[in-house]
Amino acid sequence: MPRLKDTYPLYLNNKAAQPNTDLEVTDKFTGEVAFRTALATPEIIDRAIAGAVHATEPMAKLAGYERQAVLQHCVDRFKERFDELAYALCVEAGKPIKDSEGEVTRLIDTFRIAAEESVRMYGEVMPLDISARAKGYQSIWKRVPVGPCSFISPFNFPLNLAAHKVAPAIAVGCPFVMKPASKTPLGAIIMGEVLAETDLPEGAFSILPATRDGADLFTVDERLKLLSFTGSPVVGWDLKARCGKKKVVLELGGNAAVIVDRDADLEDAIERIIFGAFYQSGQSCIGVQRIVIHENVYDRFRDMLVEKTGSLIAGDPKDRDTFIGPMISEGEAQRLKGWIDEAVDGGAKLLTGGGCKGNMLEATLLEGVHKDAKALNEEAFGPLAILQPFSDFDEALAEVNRSTFGLQAGVFTRDLFKMFDAWDRLEVGGVVINDVPSYRVDNMPYGGVKDSGLGREGIKFAMEDMTEIRNLVIRRN
């Protein structure tokens, strides 16, 4: 069994620093303080940004193989420290140990993909002689790093959603300052520990736990050229308004839907939907919140879902049998519990679950939820899924699109015309056929439309955002 330390540093300009131990981080299951970390002050953040500015040119000058070596070092070290990383997630995020291991596996994937992409930043040779005035001209463009980046990452995937910012930044040669979630800073801190073993130019990275109040420089400092934020919609859109001239990437939330059509393999679908809805207590931007089921199979599928959901094991995330662990905080559990109650008050039927103790909320299924209920329209971000029947596929698509969000959607169908219709018409970043919206592989383009965000992650897509096209025009005569 891995052990955690009592205190952890922050990383300022590539080096560990322990100016204080002001941030208490609890074990989310026991509620006890698990460890303490340093908390960055605005002055420290300012020094980190200055360091990043200083590192801009040396980072841009690194050869591809040098950037690749840094990322490969991370891959190797994450493999070596696999158990420790998983355990850290389990403690600080309350994430069931198997899911924690799954996240570490994906962390490794993410860095490996970035290592591979780091030597593949292609540019283009373009003919310019498209009209007489351009005879003798040609264009060659490449991508150059955008400069110092500001990263803010969320609590629900403390490693992999940080990795989706850190790894492409290193792959393209951008220095960065990162603020991990205050509730779960350890994943990013260990990442910093591993990066500190490399010979990245000084100032290339800082990992700075900070309170929201003290972290404004991450948003407003004009020395930072890109802000990449993963977190809640409300916070994200506010940052966009306040971030000055920066490029902005926002990976926000949603209330993802899955459609189960009448020709779906229900046995297969149920496994995936249970996973999609209740995996890490539904605390995923793409967790299944809405299950839109063809009326012909509705009753049968509801019964299957209820039975299966009722049998999920809740408890200590460190226990390998646990499927449902705690939510990130009691406040969050209460918030969602309130929505459930409100929905029931509004006429919804509670099919299973609904109970809540502290931050342990039961896996919950509702049906007959009012169209205007918060539980249906806002982001649940917890173990709640709502069943809705449909009679016509177009109607199902419209119901999915009724959301103000648009991250991913799942469709269980065998019908290729419906697959293409869904791809054409669902207002989301990704349509997943025969699986839940919750599915993601770390190289694929990932990100939302509507209120769910701006831009795409998925290494090579993130790398595009972290670079500028720089054109070279040559006139010959």
Binding residues among 446-475 for a second copy as defined by CB under 8 A:
446-447, 449, 451, 454, 456, 461, 468-475
Which strand ranges, in their side-by-side order, compose the sheet holding 23-26?
Answer: 7-8, 33-37, 23-26
By beta-carbon proximity to a second copy, the closer residue of 28 and 77 is: 77
Nearest to 11 by CA among 38, 43, 46: 38
Q: Using CB under 8 A, which of 79, 212, 242, 402 touches a second copy?
A: 242
Nearest to 161 by CA among 182, 176, 186, 180: 180
SS3 176: strand
Question: Residues near 43 by Cβ (< 8 Å), separated by ≥ 6?
Answer: none
By beta-carbon proximity to a second copy, the closer residue of 39 and 52 is: 52
Region of 9-17, 34-42, 127-135, 378-386 interacting with a second copy (CB under 8 A): 127-135
Q: Looking at 92, 101, 103, 251, which residue is catalytic?
A: 251
By beta-carbon proximity to a second copy, the closer residue of 372 and 424 is: 424
Q: Using CB under 8 A, which of 5, 15, 130, 349 touches a second copy?
A: 130
From CA 205, how far away is CA 49, in angstroms rounded? 9
Task: State the binding string over 260-279 for a second copy (x if CB under 8 A, else -).
Answer: --------x-----------
Residue type for position 338: G
Q: Closest approach of Cβ 409 to a second copy, in Å?
A: 10
Distant-in-sequence contacts of 194-199, Cβ < 8 A, 24+ apart: 194/73, 194/74, 194/77, 194/78, 194/81, 195/11, 195/14, 195/70, 195/74, 195/166, 196/11, 196/14, 196/15, 196/16, 197/73, 197/77, 198/69, 198/70, 198/73
Residues 85/97, Cβ–Cβ less than 8 Å: no
SS3 218: helix
Residues in the chain: 477
Q: Using CB under 8 A, which of 1, 3, 213, 241 touches a second copy?
A: 241
By beta-carbon proximity to a second copy, the closer residue of 360 and 428 is: 428
Q: Using CB under 8 A, which of 141, 266, 335, 370 touches a second copy?
A: 141
- Scanning residues 65 to 124, which ones bind a second copy (CB under 8 A)? 65, 68, 102, 105, 109, 113, 116, 119-124
- Scanning residues 378 to 417, which ones bind a second copy (CB under 8 A)? 413-417
Active site (annotated) includes residue 57: no
Q: Using CB under 8 A, which of 1, 133, 213, 372 touches a second copy?
A: 133
- Scanning residues 159 to 198, which ones bind a second copy (CB under 8 A)? none
Query: DSSP assignment of 442-464, as one string?
Result: TTS-B--EETTEES-BSTHHHHH
Q: Using CB under 8 A, which of 131, 213, 267, 372 touches a second copy?
A: 131
- Scanning residues 243 to 262, which ones bind a second copy (CB under 8 A)? 244-245, 247
CA end-to-end span of the chain = 71
- The partner residues of 329 in beta bridges, in order of sequence, read none
- Binding footprint of a second copy, residue count (CB under 8 A): 84
From CA 160, how far away is CA 355, in angstroms rounded? 30
By beta-carbon proximity to a second copy, the closer residue of 371 and 475 is: 475
Task: State the binding string over 201-240 for a second copy (x if CB under 8 A, else -).
Answer: ------------------------------------x--x
Sign of CA dihedral 325, 329, 330, 334: negative
**Contact flag: residue 5 with a second copy (CB under 8 A):** no
Residue type for position 135: K
By beta-carbon proximity to a second copy, the closer residue of 367 and 442 is: 442
By beta-carbon proximity to a second copy, the closer residue of 91 and 113 is: 113
- Catalytic amino acids? 251
